[in-house]
Structure 1
Amino acid sequence: MTQASNATCQIQMLDSGYSKEARALLYQAYRQEPTFQYLFEASRPGYERRMRATIRALVKQHFFQDLPALGLLVDDRLVGIALIAPPLRRLGITESWAWQLRMLLTAGLRGTRRYLNYHNAVLACIPGDAVHMLPLLGIHPQFQGLHYGEQLLEAVHNWCAADEHSEGVVLDTGNEHYLEFYKRQGYVQIGEVAIGPVVEHVFFHANPQVLHTATA
């Protein structure tokens, strides 16, 4: 386990210059996730190749569309990242023919179909258009358990709250170990989706102005 003592931590917006680091980090963060293991068939040969290809395609399309990404750096090393899809722009990645073609050629037809079905099922749980989504969010496994996840999410919430048209942030997970963590950060569950044998939990975190209006 990497130690956090004397480490300099900072949050910053990322551009495409961080693509390679982002892909490597997200691969490590997601390769053991139940949802992705089902979507891309971890028990079948070639899983790591399909996973790397999927992460590469998602990150490439995200930066190509100039969508925001927040990074958490420790001593100038990228150890945490949140890809953010703002309101009304969250469908662009999977609707891109270029993205779908890359996925078909690398992740395969079955993996691509499964991912699109998963993506659409999560979208169906979202309460309206005025929310930010976090399609990919991760802390490098070596840096988990050091409260960097809390710092990254706080930065995401603050950044999204600056948009007066946004009601909050939506994310999803099929990992049971994260459920209590997200609840402690102020998330409430708004839906469940069956992804094969995995139950995907969809969470919502309201922006401060929405909470203020609700209690006023």
Structure 2
Amino acid sequence: MEDLTLDTELSAAYLSGDEIKLACSLLYQAYHDDPFFMSCFNATAADYEQKLRAAIREELMIFWEQQQPIIGVYQADTLVAVACITLPDNKLEPQRFWHWRLKMMLTAGYVSTKQMIEKEQKVKDVLQYNAYHLLSFIAVHPNHQHHGIGHYILAAIDSLVAENSQSSGLAVLVTLDKYTRFFESFAFNLVDKIQVGKIEANLMFKAKKETSS
């Protein structure tokens, strides 16, 4: 796919199918201590990590099958960041497909699967925009954090949003205060607080800038 290179040191491009496993590993590291997943899959349980890996794998596979953007940032040939974005005209309804639900219930359990569906449905219910992009996952490799890579990948996503005439902007659900501040620094505004299970999360939105004709 087309290269989204923004400077000479880093490059951003859509991931190929062969890179999904690398993306899963990166997202697993990033979301291991995420409050939502820790609550959803019971972080104190012996099978927590197994369930988290399985959930991330199934999510990325459905993204890939439905041709939703999975963007990777590379430093030389090393994948250092990844983001999964849902398009405005996507077919990924919160209920997902029956085979996704079946796989998730077998690996993560009924209650956990129900909470994941509930989270996405609440986001959809709160946002009043007709069409928007949703940042479902974003991760920067632990060894490459605090070097501006997070801002870099958001800039690449901004370009993706700007090119879509249907989209009104980009939404993201944030579960940690430090990431709320990060997204605020990139012009995201708080829309509402959403309660999912035992976790309260901030639903944030960045409106697309209208370009003059």
Normalized against structure 2, the TM-score is what? Answer: 0.91
1:168 maps to 169
Q: Structure 2: how far apart are the matches of 1:93 and 1:15?
A: 25
Q: Structure 2: how far apart are the matches of 1:163 and 1:101?
A: 33
1:120 maps to 121
Matched, 1:131 2:132: yes
Look up the equivalent residue of 1:95 and give its one-letter code: R
Q: Runs (4+) of structure 1 moved beyond 4 Å? A: none
Change in Cα spacing, 1:93 to 1:13, as seen in structure 2 (3 Å) is farther
Q: Please, what is the CA RMSD of the aligned residues? A: 1.8
Q: Structure 1: how far apart are the matches of 2:60 and 2:182?
A: 25
Structure number with the higher helix fraction is: 1
Aligned-pair distance for 1:127? Answer: 2.4
Q: Structure 2: how far apart are the matches of 1:70 and 1:18?
A: 11
Aligned-pair distance for 1:169? Answer: 0.4
Does the aligned pair in 2 maintain the 1:53–1:107 contact within 8 Å?
yes
Matched, 1:73 2:63: no
Does the aligned pair in 1 maintain the 2:140–2:150 contact within 8 Å?
yes
Superimposed CA distance per residue, residues 103-155 of structure 1 (whole angstroms, 9 cap, x where no aligned partner): 01111112111111122112222222310111111112222111100000011
Structure 2 residue runs of 5 or longer lacking an equivalent are: 1-7
Aligned-pair distance for 1:91? Answer: 2.9
Q: Structure 2: how far apart are the matches of 1:156 and 1:131?
A: 12
2:181 maps to 180
Q: Residue 208 of structure 1: SS of its match in structure 2?
A: coil
Aligned-pair distance for 1:197? Answer: 3.2
Q: Structure 1: how far apart are the matches of 2:18 and 2:95?
A: 22
Does the aligned pair in 2 maintain the 1:132–1:160 contact within 8 Å?
yes
Q: Structure 2: how far apart are the matches of 1:133 and 1:139?
A: 18
Matched, 1:8 2:18: no
Does the aligned pair in 2 maintain the 1:187–1:203 contact within 8 Å?
yes
Compare 11-20 and 179-188 and name the one that shifted more: 11-20
Compare 53-62 and 88-97 and name the one that shifted more: 88-97
1:202 maps to 203
Does the aligned pair in 2 maintain the 1:88–1:129 contact within 8 Å?
no
Aligned-pair distance for 1:33? Answer: 0.8
Q: Structure 2: how far apart are the matches of 1:109 and 1:118?
A: 14
Matched, 1:154 2:155: yes
Change in Cα spacing, 1:90 to 1:179, as seen in structure 2 (3 Å) is farther
Q: Structure 1: how far apart are the matches of 2:127 and 2:190?
A: 11
2:5 maps to none
2:29 maps to 28
2:63 maps to 62
Q: Structure 2: how far apart are the matches of 1:187 and 1:202?
A: 10
Does the aligned pair in 1 maintain the 2:129–2:168 contact within 8 Å?
no
1:101 maps to 102
Aligned length: 206
Q: Structure 2: how far apart are the matches of 1:129 and 1:77?
A: 37
